Amino acid sequence: MTTEEAARAVTESPVVILPAGAFEQHGPGMPLATDTIRAEQVCRLVAAELAGRAVIGPSLPVGVSPHHLAFAGTVTLTTTTLATVVREYVDSLHRHGWRKILVVTGHGGNNATLSTVAQDLLVTHPELQFAWTPLTPLASDVVAGMRVSEVHGHSGEAETAQMLHLAPHLVHEDRLTAGSARTADLDPLSRLARRSGHPALAVPYDRLSANGVLGDPRSATAADGRAIVGAAVASITAFVKEWLDI
């Protein structure tokens, strides 16, 4: 978009969608930018559904990934830095007149920071509406119906399926390798950390999984990925359509 197009978009497209991701290990078969790629593609599909009523802003390509730093290539921001960057994106967009901003994050490690920013914006920008969402949890029904390992998650069946659908040319299918896929594969501290619910316990990924993978990405299919992405896009689109009318 040009600056003149952006000026018109403030009224024609009152929602700005910001894709957020991470630059972190995704096992032996997927790129470091996996989360950013998924977020950008989903935002593009949502914007297409909204037929000009939303614009996509600049991506947040590096997220909060200290738990992956033991693996080469991972680049992380601290939570305070990501919060500052998100706030400064929002400040700029707010200055131009946008009042509805949605962050779509492909990386769960950003969730806590986005939630913190949302609370702070209630005080600093009371006229602004700030929303954020993770991706894969929007499709938990789809994932529940898939063939997944007892332990699955990062770079596992569901995430690999999304990449096989959205960016198959970036998946090295011949290098996909199972990681920690059974509870028995986890050491006692990791088992406690992976137990669902709270208290929450943070452990680094090199402790959870020797190759950085949770689950078995070899059983991922593009068809499952299409179903996950479709559910996420439908959910976000429905939210924004309702939001636009308020």
Residues that bind Zn ion (CB under 5 A): 34-35
Nearer to Zn ion, 100 or 154 (CB): 154
Q: How far is the CB of 232 from Zn ion (least distance, A)?
A: 14
Q: How far is the CB of 58 from Zn ion (least distance, A)?
A: 20
Q: How far is the CB of 3 from Zn ion (least distance, A)?
A: 33
Nearer to Zn ion, 54 or 233 (CB): 233
Nearer to Zn ion, 34 or 209 (CB): 34
Q: How far is the CB of 88 from Zn ion (least distance, A)?
A: 25
Contact 26, 153 (CB under 8 A): no
Nearest to 201 by CA among 180, 186, 212, 182: 186
Q: Distance (Å, rounded) from C-alpha 81 to C-alpha 60?
A: 12
Nearer to Zn ion, 44 or 125 (CB): 44
Q: How far is the CB of 208 from Zn ion (least distance, A)?
A: 14
Q: How far is the CB of 81 from Zn ion (least distance, A)?
A: 19
Nearer to Zn ion, 35 or 40 (CB): 35
User: DSSP for the chain?
Assistant: --HHHHHHHHHH--EEEEEE--B--BTTTB-TTHHHHHHHHHHHHHHHHTTTSEEE---B-----GGGTTSTT-B---HHHHHHHHHHHHHHHHHTT--EEEEEES-GGGHHHHHHHHHHHHHH-TT-EEEEEESGGGGHHHHHTS---SS--TTSHHHHHHHHHH-GGG--GGG----B-SGGGS-HHHHHHHSSSSS-----HHHH-TTS-BS-GGG--HHHHHHHHHHHHHHHHHHHHHHHT-
Q: How far is the CB of 120 from Zn ion (least distance, A)?
A: 26
Residue with the closest Cβ to Zn ion? Answer: 35
Nearer to Zn ion, 35 or 224 (CB): 35
Sign of the CA dihedral running 197, 202, 203, 204: positive
Nearer to Zn ion, 105 or 129 (CB): 105
